Structure 1
C-alpha cells in the first residue's frame, strides 16, 4: 500500500490557490528566465513549495469560506518561494 505524500491534503485543499500561485510564479519568472540556468529554473518550478503552502494555509484560516484569496496573498507566497530558491542558488554559488 502506497503512503500518500504528507502534503497531499494541503495540495487538495489549496488546489485553486496553488493554480493561481503557479500562474503568478510563471509570470514573475518569465522576464528572468534568460538569467537562470535550466537547473535554477527547474528549482523554481518543481520544488515542494512548503513555504508558500504554509502561507496560503494561514491565509485560508482567516478567509471566508468560498472566497478567493486576495492577489496580494498570492504574490506574497510567490515572493516567499522566490526568496527561498534564491537562497538555495546563492548557497550553491558560495559552495563552488
Structure 2
C-alpha cells in the first residue's frame, strides 16, 4: 500500500510577481492511501480545518514550481480529480 502525506496551506491568498501563496497556517494529514483516495477525504480535511465553505482548492504537483505550471485545481466533489492529485505523488 502506497501512503502519502498532504501539507495544507490555508488562511491566506495567492499573490503574483512571482506567483506564490502566503498563508497563515500549515497542517499535515498523514497516512493517505494513494490507491483509494476519494473526494470524501478532501471534504474531511476541509472540515477538520474548521471550514464550512471554501472558494477553490488547489494543489502543487511535486517537484514542479508554481511558475512552471505546478498548480492544479481539485474539488471535494469529484473523485477523479482527487485521485489525480493522489497519483501525482
Please report the TM-score for the alignment, with normalisation by the length of structure 2: 0.24
Please report the TM-score for the alignment, with normalisation by the length of structure 1: 0.23
Which structure has greater strand proportion? 2
Which structure has greater helix proportion? 1
Which structure: larger Rg?
1
Q: Identify which of structures 1 and 2 has the higher relative contact order when contacts are C-alpha pairs closer than 8 Å and 6+ apart.
A: 1
